[in-house]
Amino acid sequence: MPAHPSSRSAPRALWIVLAVALLLRIWMAWANYGFVALDDYHDALALAVPAERAPVPDVIIRESGIRSPVPRLFIYGIGQTALAIGITEAITQVRFVYTALGLLSVTVVAAVWWMFARLGREDWGLHAAGWTGFHFLAVYLSTRTLLENLSLPFLTLAGVFLVLYHAEGRTRLLLGSLTALALASVFRFQAGVVLPVVLVVPIVRRAWRDLAAVTALGGVLFLVTGEIDALLRGGFHESLRAYVRYNIHESSGFGTSPWYAYVLLLAGTALLPLFVARYRAFPWREYGRRLWPLVAFVGVFVAAHSAVPHKEDRFMVPIMGAFLALLAPFSAHLVRVARRGWHSWRPVTFVAINATGILLLAAVPAQNNVIGPVRYLAHHPELRTVWSVAESAYPYPTAYSTRPLPERHEVDAIPLARLAEGDCGDVVIIRSDLLPRYREALSKLREIAVYGPGLPERLVIWINPENNLRRNPVHLFVPAGCRETT
pLDDT score at 467: 76
- The verdict on 179 and 221 lying in the same domain is yes
* 54 in any annotated domain: yes
Spatial separation of the C-alpha atoms in residues 157 and 277, rounded to whole Å: 30
Between 400 and 231, name the one with better pLDDT: 400
pLDDT score at 370: 96
Averaged pLDDT, 201-222:
97
* 306 in any annotated domain: yes
| Segments forming the whole domain that contains residue 221 | 10-363
pLDDT score at 101: 97
> Domain ends where: 335, 363, 391?
363
Averaged pLDDT, 464-475:
88
> Domain ends where: 303, 328, 363?
363
- The verdict on 347 and 426 lying in the same domain is no
Spatial separation of the C-alpha atoms in residues 78 and 35, rounded to whole Å: 16
Say whether pLDDT at 6 is over 60. no
pTM (2 d.p.): 0.92
236-257 pLDDT, tens digit per residue, is: 888 888 877 777 666 655 557 8
- The verdict on 256 and 355 lying in the same domain is yes
- The verdict on 179 and 78 lying in the same domain is yes
Of 101-115, 334-348, 362-376, the one with minimum mean pLDDT is 334-348
Say whether pLDDT at 222 is over 60. yes
* Banded model confidence at residue 5, pLDDT cuts 50, 70, 90: very low
Closest listed residue to residue 409, CA positions, set 432, 383, 435: 383
Spatial separation of the C-alpha atoms in residues 310 and 177, rounded to whole Å: 29
pLDDT score at 246: 75
Say whether pLDDT at 474 is over 80. yes
- The verdict on 345 and 446 lying in the same domain is no
Spatial separation of the C-alpha atoms in residues 423 and 478, rounded to whole Å: 8
- The verdict on 383 and 316 lying in the same domain is no
* 395 in any annotated domain: yes
How many domains does the chain contain in total? Answer: 2
- The verdict on 84 and 171 lying in the same domain is yes
> Domain ends where: 345, 363, 381?
363
Say whether pLDDT at 100 is over 60. yes
- The verdict on 270 and 303 lying in the same domain is yes
323-353 pLDDT, tens digit per residue, is: 999 999 999 999 888 755 556 888 889 999 9
385-389 sheet: strands from edge to edge: 408-411, 385-389, 426-431, 474-479, 445-451
- The verdict on 14 and 68 lying in the same domain is yes
* 1 in any annotated domain: no
pLDDT score at 4: 47
Of 35-44, 83-92, 131-140, 193-202, the one with minimum mean pLDDT is 35-44
pLDDT score at 66: 80
- The verdict on 344 and 376 lying in the same domain is no
The percentage of residues in the chain with a pLDDT greater than 90, rounded to a whole number, is 74
* 425 in any annotated domain: yes
**Termini Cα distance of the chain:** 48
Averaged pLDDT, 370-381:
95
Closest listed residue to residue 195, CA positions, set 323, 326, 266, 296: 296
* Banded model confidence at residue 485, pLDDT cuts 50, 70, 90: low
Q: What is the mean pLDDT of the chain?
A: 91
* 226 in any annotated domain: yes
pLDDT score at 3: 47
Spatial separation of the C-alpha atoms in residues 389 and 47, rounded to whole Å: 27
**Is 187:154 a contact under the CB 8 Å cutoff?**
yes
- The verdict on 173 and 258 lying in the same domain is yes
Task: Count the alpha carbons within 13 Å of 46 in the hemisphere toward its beta carbon.
Answer: 16
pLDDT score at 339: 59
Averaged pLDDT, 194-202:
97
- The verdict on 149 and 166 lying in the same domain is yes
